[in-house]
Structure 1
Amino acid sequence: MSQSVRAGAGKTTTFRMLRGLRPATSGHLRVAGVNLRDARAEARRKVGYVAQKFSLYGNLTVAENMRFFGGAYGLHGAALRERTREVLDQFHPVPAGGAPAVRGADAGLAGRAAAQLHALPAGGGGHGAADLLGHAQPVPGQPGGPALQTRWNILPGLMAALSMLQTLLLSALSVAREREQGSFDQLLVTPMSPLEIMAGKALAPVLIGLAQSSIILLVTALWFKVPLAGSLPALYAGLALFTVACVGIGLSISAVSRNMQQATLYTFVLIMPMMLLSGLATPVDNMPPLLRALTLANPLRFAIDLARRIYLEGVGLDAVAYDLWPMALIAALTLPLAAWLFRHRLA
């Protein structure tokens, strides 16, 4: 349901009503054979539910959290111990030698385990919503990844975000540095054309940006153990196109800057909104309509989505074509603009 209905359509409100957390103002609403209009407490005992902001108690172990929530749902004694053992065997939220306190990502696994624990007591009849968890399959590429660990969502995006910082700054400083150090006149007397000079200035930032992406890729795969599901050539093809688009923006900044201080200032003024409107920390779909429209001019937005889908979901370039052509369009606009500005400066 969350994949097919847009944000704000009332999914959470509907589930809260089905759980008896919000009263129905009119009509008939029955869940597990219970009328929610006049027996919400009874319905809550028969239906498992995990809130959006569900949180376990950090100072309790996973097993202690299970006993607490199991008791809240009417499980006691042998029934609680049996259900706890079944959940631990299914989800393995803690090592066999002990039960550490719940922290960070461990709470994600324990949350699923506690939700499974919320099944009906023996002889209760009916089916709780949490009974379906045993048959659920994880969605590839779902933000957060296994156990809702944030590194699965953040690290693939950092391959594009961090390389953009270096690429933009280096390309923006390239021509400005020549102009500030007085070697700009030397470029005027060389037999190279302005296009050749610009290509030389663009090559180094592109290679450095791809090298930085490679370092982050190695850290993601080897240190943080986030496996690569897609193709390396497809990932590098998308990152290379993104880097070229960033170089076009940086060279345009460099061409209009009179010194390195101006180039640095213009770059950082531009980097901040590009990072905020990239979708790295805040989903683009959750932004106001005006900000969503502004993200269409941000190549980082498309690069992050491309990196996440190829790295986590294993899709090919054909599946991320809607990310490739906006970056190609930005590159096709900024590189000629930088060349024109460069020729104008030389003239």
Structure 2
Amino acid sequence: MRSLPRILKALRRTAVQAVPTIIGIVILNFFLLRLTPGDAADVLAGEAGAATVETLAALKAKFGFDLPALQQLVAYLNNLAHFSLGVSPRYNQPVSDLIAARLPNTLSLMGLALGFALVIGITFGAVMASFVGRVPDKVLSVLSLLFYSIPSFWIGLMLIVLFSVKLGWLPSGGAESIGAGLTGWESILDRARHQVLPAISLALFYVAIYARLTRGDMLEVKAQDHVRTARAKGLSPFAVTRGHVLRNALIPVTTMAGIHLAGLMGGAVVVETVYSWPGLGRLAYEAVMGRDFNVLLGILLLSSLLVVVTNALIDILQAWLDPRIEVR
């Protein structure tokens, strides 16, 4: 109960900072996307193959692309004020419906990838710090370097070749087995099997970062006075590592995890394309190719909100991990 005022203070501070930040991000993204040559009307006219100048002009007028940029921005902000993300010219559907249909897939993939990266990365880092300079430390250091260096799309393709083509253990793409008609636990297990390879491909880069970060922080914490005091009291090495070393070393790791959340969304674009995963990353790629700026703006806005919420949760988690941290 004593931590409740600290949590409320963190939430209040986040809310005050979030509003101008989100508005600034929306305006900046809007003008940056408008610098891109072409728009959805040009793409639709090009795909039609026989569009006339009059047809193109009518398309631009229908979607408001013929208006000055400032008028388009005002119209977009007015939509946001009414809790609307506008309509997608390409799909002819509300952007909110498109995002809502893809969001659960991306969130589940990101959550699984981040959880995998944290668990494996922290475990690797703890082992490396416990056996510093010895064989486990050297082997895991080499693995971490490989995970960090290899592009995620190449890892994805190699995982497909190994586990889907050669071994046949896991599906190579999609979110579920099409036409299988599975229900209940069978459907859940089927979707979980489809998530394994994309989540691993997305997570391995971050596994390397968290492993190296945990190792360095644990070695630094081990040299501090309170750890020597805990050893002098007769605590077992495991108790010292778990209660005094690892807990303090997790603070920088949780900070980096919050920062990497936006990177996970960006990495999902590549991974979801490789695995034909129906999520926001693939939708963003399709929106870029189709110059569907309304969809892109909606995805970028959602990503910004996700980062803001995550940072608030990270502040609360850090205050719980170390009560000495003051929430300002």
Is the helix fraction higher in 1 or 2? 2
* TM-score, scaled to structure 2: 0.29
* TM-score, scaled to structure 1: 0.28
